[in-house]
């Protein structure tokens, strides 16, 4: 019987863009636009400038393009694009696997495709291959990685990045399996950033993308990786989840038949996904009953156990976030900001914003209530209860967060999000050209369209 890595290797190497259903192709293009738009906006706003500085330090040049930088080595471009795509926490997430998929897969696929001189169709197949691999690995351990202190985007994302780079480079099934085996020793990403609001989380997809390219390059030149990297007694699931029950065979059983790419959820807000349903629930309450901060006695946000660990506890840190990135993981902050200012967008998470006295005065009145929306994290459900000083109690709940498959954003809404984000750093012609190319990848003869990314302006706070 083939191992999981060998099954993945066969799927990735054999995936032809023409065999991918039209809706999956369209979803892949939209998600690529979404990820790159988020990255362009982050660069324009001056986020993660240290990543650019780090890759430029030794003066190396190569065939790949990053947002705001041309002629980089592929690994460097992948690192920059991955970190920027995730920097605003505005990029997509697959609900059940809890992986920020595109932030790792798209940069790896693009850098590998540019280096290989691949066609748009090969890039499309590479992105879909990466999506399908990393989501299934995250699904097999749904919710368990967070409980062990790992961010699935890093530890599962490296395998998606490896699959994407392997397909872009057209490795054989056996060599792809070796690359996945090698990537198992590169899987990384700790949640300890939650302790002080530091910025390591935004590096996770960039590092996963860079590591995926390295694993593929090593395998292509003869390095071997363990065939049982996933199911082995000292493999990925056994060591990272320490004996917790997983079901990778069920995920493998539908590989190439049921497509998970369209399940990936878009983000309407640049904050942790576990804040979204409560914020939208509050918006629904406010639409029915306009209220002012001074009218509020208390607010209770509803979320599940993973949400509590990410955006509610420890309460003292969440009530007064220490950094803009910290605020993105604070349900009290997001709810309070939405009530005070009537919006929650990229301007809500700046150094100036986190000192907003009106918001900070409200956050101590926000607490949480644990709710079980499903046996495993599946759609970021949430809600809110607002208790007013006149005794009224207003409540609303969303079983499915907005942007997921069950409560989707329209394609036009996703495109408008991309255009708004990308226009912060690119000229209108470059924005429209990138949009046209990524939505028609199957017909692009090369990846020359990606050079517009290098023209993105940045550094404006």
Any idea what the CATH number is for the domain that residue 322 is in?
3.30.1330.120
347 and 215 assigned to the same domain: no
Whole-number pLDDT of residue 401: 87
> Concatenated DSSP letters for 117-130?
T--HHHHHHHHHHH
Question: pTM for the complete prediction?
Answer: 0.94
21 and 57 assigned to the same domain: yes
Whole-number pLDDT of residue 373: 77
29 and 140 assigned to the same domain: yes
φ/ψ of residue 335, rounded to 5: -65, -45
Structural domain contains residue 461: no
CB 351 within 8 A of CB 305: no
Whole-number pLDDT of residue 375: 52
Structural domain contains residue 48: yes
Whole-number pLDDT of residue 378: 59
Strands across the sheet with 366-370, in order?
366-370, 296-303, 382-388, 393-398
Q: Where are the beta strands (DSSP E) in 262-415?
A: 296-303, 366-370, 382-388, 393-398
Structural domain contains residue 286: yes
315 and 429 assigned to the same domain: no
Count of domains observed in the chain: 2
263 and 280 assigned to the same domain: no
Residues spanned by the domain of 301: 273-398
Six token digits for residue 458: 């940045």
10 and 105 assigned to the same domain: yes
249 and 282 assigned to the same domain: no
280 and 247 assigned to the same domain: no
Structural domain contains residue 17: yes
Whole-number pLDDT of residue 189: 98
CATH of the domain at 131: 1.10.4100.10
75 and 195 assigned to the same domain: yes
211 and 118 assigned to the same domain: yes
Whole-number pLDDT of residue 143: 86
Cα separations (Å) of 285 from 23, 288, 289, 331?
A: 34, 5, 6, 16
State the maximum Cα–Cα separation within the chain, in Å, rounded to a whole number.
72
**66, containing H or E segment:** strand 64-66
End residue of a domain, out of 351, 369, 398: 398
End residue of a domain, out of 357, 375, 398: 398
309 and 201 assigned to the same domain: no
Cα separations (Å) of 275 from 29, 267, 330, 384, 385?
A: 26, 11, 8, 11, 14
Between CA 2 and CA 9 the distance in angstroms is 10
Whole-number pLDDT of residue 92: 97
Pick out the chain residues at pLDDT < 70.
374-378, 460-461
Structural domain contains residue 403: no
Whole-number pLDDT of residue 91: 97
For residue 298, list its beta bridge partners: 387
Which residues are CB-contacts of 195 (< 8 A; sequence separation ≥ 6)? none
285 and 423 assigned to the same domain: no
For the chain, how big is the Rg over CA atoms in Å?
21
End residue of a domain, out of 350, 374, 398: 398
């Amino acid at each position: 019987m083939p191992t999981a890595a060998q099954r993945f290797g066969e799927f990735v190497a054999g995936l032809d863009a023409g065999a991918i259903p039209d809706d999956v192709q369209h979803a892949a293009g939209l998600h690529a636009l979404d990820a790159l738009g988020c990255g362009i906006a982050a660069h324009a706003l001056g986020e993660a400038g240290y990543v650019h500085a780090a890759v430029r330090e030794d003066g190396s040049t190569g065939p790949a393009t990053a947002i705001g930088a041309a002629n980089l080595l592929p690994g460097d471009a992948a690192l920059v694009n991955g970190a920027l795509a995730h920097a605003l926490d505005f990029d997509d997430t697959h609900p059940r696997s809890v992986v920020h998929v595109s932030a790792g897969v798209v940069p790896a696929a693009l850098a590998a495709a540019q280096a290989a001189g691949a066609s748009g169709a090969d890039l499309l197949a590479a992105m879909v291959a990466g999506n399908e691999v990393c989501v299934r690995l995250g699904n097999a351990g749904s919710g368990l990685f967070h409980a062990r202190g790992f961010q699935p985007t890093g530890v599962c994302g490296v395998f998606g990045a490896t699959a994407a780079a392997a397909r872009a480079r057209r490795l054989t099934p056996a060599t792809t399996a070796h690359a996945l085996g090698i990537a198992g020793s590169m899987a990384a990403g700790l949640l300890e950033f939650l302790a002080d609001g530091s910025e390591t989380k935004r590096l996770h997809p960039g590092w996963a993308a860079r590591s995926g390219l390295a694993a593929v390059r090593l395998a292509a030149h003869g390095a071997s990786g363990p065939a049982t990297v996933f199911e082995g007694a000292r493999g990925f699931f056994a060591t990272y989840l320490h004996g917790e029950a997983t079901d990778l065979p069920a995920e493998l059983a539908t590989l190439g038949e049921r497509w998970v790419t369209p399940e990936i959820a878009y983000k309407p807000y640049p904050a942790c996904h576990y804040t979204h349903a409560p914020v939208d629930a509050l918006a629904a309450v406010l639409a029915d009953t306009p209220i002012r901060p001074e009218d509020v006695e208390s607010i209770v946000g509803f979320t599940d156990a993973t949400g509590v660990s990410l955006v509610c506890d420890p309460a003292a840190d969440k009530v007064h976030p220490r950094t803009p990135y910290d605020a993105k993981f604070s349900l009290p902050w997001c709810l309070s900001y939405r009530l005070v200012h009537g919006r929650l967008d990229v301007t809500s998470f700046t150094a100036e914003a986190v000192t907003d006295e009106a918001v900070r005065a409200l956050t101590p009145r926000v607490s949480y209530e644990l709710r079980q929306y499903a046996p495993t994290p599946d759609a970021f459900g949430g809600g809110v209860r607002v208790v007013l000083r006149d005794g009224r109690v207003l409540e609303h709940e969303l079983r499915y967060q907005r942007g997921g498959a069950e409560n989707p954003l329209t394609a036009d809404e996703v495109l408008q999000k991309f255009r708004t984000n990308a226009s912060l750093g690119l000229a209108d012609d470059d924005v429209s050209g990138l949009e046209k190319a990524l939505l028609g990848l199957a017909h692009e003869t090369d990846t020359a369209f990606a050079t517009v990314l290098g023209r993105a302006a940045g550094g404006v706070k």
